[in-house]
Amino acid sequence: MVEQELTYQKLQIPSSDIYEAMGYKDSMPDGMVIEEINTLLDRITPLLRPRFFFFLTDGLLDTEKATLTVKDTVLTIGKTIARQLRGSEAFAFFTATAGVEFEEFQHLLQQEDDMVKVYIADSLGSIIAEKAADCMEEELATFIEKRGWKHTNRYSPGYERDLASLHWYQAEAHIARAYYYAELIKQYGGVPIVESQYAANKFIPRSSYDQVVEYIVKEIDDHKGKLAVDWASFSERNGRFTLGAALAIKARVLLYAASPLHNPDNDVEKWKKAAAAAYDIISNPDLNYSLDSDYGAYFQGNRSLSSPETIYVVRREQSNAMESNNYPIATPCGASGVTPTQNLVEAYEWVGDPVAGDPYANRDPRLAASVVTNGSTWNGHVIDQSPGGRHDMSAPNASKTGYYLKKFLTDNLDLTQGAKVQHNWVSYRYAEVLLNYAEAMNEAYGPDQAPGDYALTALDALQLVRDRASLQLPIVTAATRDEFREAVKHERRIELAFEDHRYWDLLRWKDAMEVLNKPVRGVKVTKTGEGKWSYTQTEVATRTFLERNYYMPFTRSEVENSNHTLEQNPGY
């Protein structure tokens, strides 16, 4: 009995199925036929990679010299395999086994829908295409010609794409695993590393934070070479992991690993690894990332999809959820939502002399791009939060801080008519990479040093981000590690505001106990004349952050399901 199995990607066809398809149910084929089948299987197996189907079609079997037994056997095997495949793969097996007549393939083609026909035609090499032109003039050849495809000596882009996908999918799966482990350790610290399915009664203890970091880095380093650099040639695949995305995940993970929360002894080698990981992105000519020319516009509509700043973005359907959740409550269908604090607003630097009575004039332009302030125009009218004003702060659900979110939102969207716009969530972008690099370089080498092959100092990278915001921002002149550390912390707070970085930054810097125990502040607005207001700072709320909050707790069910092998984080 033949023990060998045919394997095509995840497809496995046992020999018994082939025998049954050939009519052998109660008895097995005789030795001569088994030997012929073995020989055939040996010849077909190397062809199970699609790249070789079309080049070797004519040479697989000389049908003129083949015995009837062999030809029938080969044809039966081909049909058996083809039943479990679709489109071009089925056709490849038909034509690659015993020179199947095109009438047989034509019958298969007639059973398929247009999408499968397109893929079949898309995958034809010159040998098959010429046969199609000779033997199926009104079926496949016409189908090809109507779509402008030509018979050439190379595969079409669609077929090359799908062939490459066999490698891309595998690599992307490893990057996805690295990404999710990065999210887990960011929240919980060390977690169990699970690489395969385990028996129900086997429990895996937590690995240390550093062990999981090593695992993430290895996953990325081992598979980054098989990733697509970008999806320029296959735009329908945008949104999947690329080389840049993988390297950005690695750079962020190593930056977090080098930070005080996870590096209490300040091991400088960890900072050097983080700097090198960020520089791998900056210096790679194939990636060619750069800062978008317009900070505010970058976060609106589809701009992030085509911007050279974007490394990885989550695509979402058109909606108005962001606007309806975050427009001021006085805007029809608005719900106030996220209301920025005075703590943040006052951190935006001056780019000119302060203006009496207007604390928002001559500020870093990123303020106006991110926050709706009193006296600014938003949704077609001037925001007036003074008593009796349209956005009176005493109204139910009005902002208690005196500010509303602007970043990510489209101005003046007609929510009453159900208008919708595109929103995308940028998970990794080039500005963050520059800031990651600046922070790591400072800690590893100082603010103004670029040893070896490095072409940028920490100061250089930081200044690139600030210059994009405004050339009027003062140049950072930090001369020491300590001074620059404060500068880069400030820059991350401003540049990455509302992008899900601030909280995690405070944790990894071990600044959360200080910063997150301070009260939330806002402003009370009073109108002093037409178009004029005065502002009084107020305490809006108090916050409590405990030492244990540097890590989140595992749920009780997870701990119990692990038979308490999963050790709970301290303090819970």
Residues in the chain predicted with pLDDT less than 50, given as ranges, are 1-14, 17-24, 29, 32-33, 36-37, 40-41, 43-75, 77-106, 108-109, 111-141, 143-144, 147-156
Amino acid at 202: K
pLDDT at 158: 56
From residue 397, alpha-carbon distances to 331, 393, 411 in Å are: 12, 8, 20
Q: Please report the pLDDT score of residue 459 as a whole number.
A: 98
* Three-state DSSP class for residue 403: coil
User: Residue 47: its pLDDT value, please?
Assistant: 38
Phi, psi of 442 (to 5 degrees): -60, -45
pLDDT at res. 196? 84
pLDDT score of 117: 43
Pairs from 564-568 (Cβ < 8 Å, separation ≥ 24): 565/203, 565/204, 565/205, 566/192, 566/203, 566/205, 566/206, 567/205, 567/206
| Crossing angle (nearest 10°) for helices 458-469 and 430-445 | 150
Q: Which two tokens stand for residue 420?
A: 């919708």
**Burial (0-12, 13-18, 19+ Cβ within 10 Å), 302:** middle
Q: 485-543: per-residue pLDDT in tens? A: 999 999 999 999 999 999 999 999 999 999 999 999 999 999 999 999 999 999 999 99
Q: CA-to-CA distance for 275 and 271, rounded, in angstroms?
A: 6
pLDDT at 109: 45
pLDDT at res. 170: 87
What pLDDT shows up at residue 212?
98
Q: What's the pLDDT at 99?
A: 39
